[in-house]
Amino acid sequence: MSDCSSALVLGSSRGIGAATARALDAQGCRVVLHGRTPSAGLVGLGRELGAPTVAFDLADAAAVRRGVADAVTEHGLPQVVVFSAGVNRVVPFEEASREDVADAFGVNVWGAVGVLQELLPKMVAQGGGAVVLVSSIRGVDGLASDRTVFYSMAKAALGNLTVSLAKRYAPTVRVNAVAPGFTVTDMVATWDEGAWRQARGNLLGRPAEPAEVAAAVAFLASDAARHITGQTLVVDGGYGLAGK
């Protein structure tokens, strides 16, 4: 399915990002892995795939500029960019400060903006490529959470960023997003019984595995999706249809 020759996967030390890196690697794509720090997960996945790793903080604009420039210099300009990094800190709406709101947007939105500001013009000059942003069902109309208000706001912003960049960089670069529902990552350790009920409350009766979300990302990055741009593919097991 893949015509991907090279990919940079932001946020690939664990979870959906790591599963996406594995999926692209299995399709013959040369993958560059990224994490905020050279963690055991990032280094271990690099060894597993025989893939290079880069580490920089997506919330730090200067670090993003340096990190992306170094990645391109050392490993070449990617044909595919996957942004799978994100943070989700629960702060009650009534207690939130401006700093809390800025924190929610720091990695989730500004990280994506900073990376793509550096890479998209170069991808156009190279002749094209594909971008896939990993959003969330919390960014989809009607599915925002009253518990994670600012995370929902940030993920909704990613959806609009997807559409705007698809228009701006067409027809050379395709830009799409994937919006996962509840997914079995290391975050399940924080789920209480209520969260598990929600996770099982979709039409398929279970949360997604990271590889199932990664398959959707790999599809949108591939030539099989060559006539798809500006779209958000929801991978939620029918959660949004179950009246949640």
One-character DSSP codes across the chain: ----SEEEEET-SSHHHHHHHHHHHHTT-EEEEEESS--HHHHHHHHHHT--EEE--TT-HHHHHHHHHHHHHHH---SEEEE---------GGG--HHHHHHHHIIIIIIHHHHHHHHHHHHHHHT-EEEEEE--GGGSTT---SSSHHHHHHHHHHHHHHHHHHHHHTTTEEEEEEEE-SB-SGGGGG--HHHHHHHT-STTSSPBPHHHHHHHHHHHHSGGGTT--S-EEEESTTGGGTT-
In-domain check, residue 223: yes
| Catalytic-residue membership of 151 | yes
In-domain check, residue 203: yes
Give the DSSP letter string of 3-60.
--SEEEEET-SSHHHHHHHHHHHHTT-EEEEEESS--HHHHHHHHHHT--EEE--TT-
In-domain check, residue 1: no
Q: What is the b/e burial string over 154-193, where b = at least 16 CB atoms within 10 angstroms of the residue's CB?
A: bbbbbbebbbebbeebeeebbbbbbbbbbbbbeeeeeeee
Q: How far is 167 from 173, CA to CA, in rounded Å?
A: 10
Report whether 120 contacts 131 (CB < 8 A): yes
> What residues in the chain have per-residue pLDDT under 50?
1
Q: What is the pLDDT of residue 244?
A: 54
In-domain check, residue 152: yes
CATH code: domain of residue 119: 3.40.50.720
In-domain check, residue 244: no
Q: What is the pLDDT of residue 188?
A: 80
Q: What is the pLDDT of residue 194?
A: 87
In-domain check, residue 180: yes
Indicate which residue of 56, 151, 182, 239 is catalytic.
151
Q: What is the pLDDT of residue 195?
A: 85
In-domain check, residue 166: yes
In-domain check, residue 124: yes
Q: Which two tokens stand for residue 196?
A: 């598990």
Give the structural domain span for 104.
6-239
Number of domains in the chain: 1
Read off the pTM: 0.95
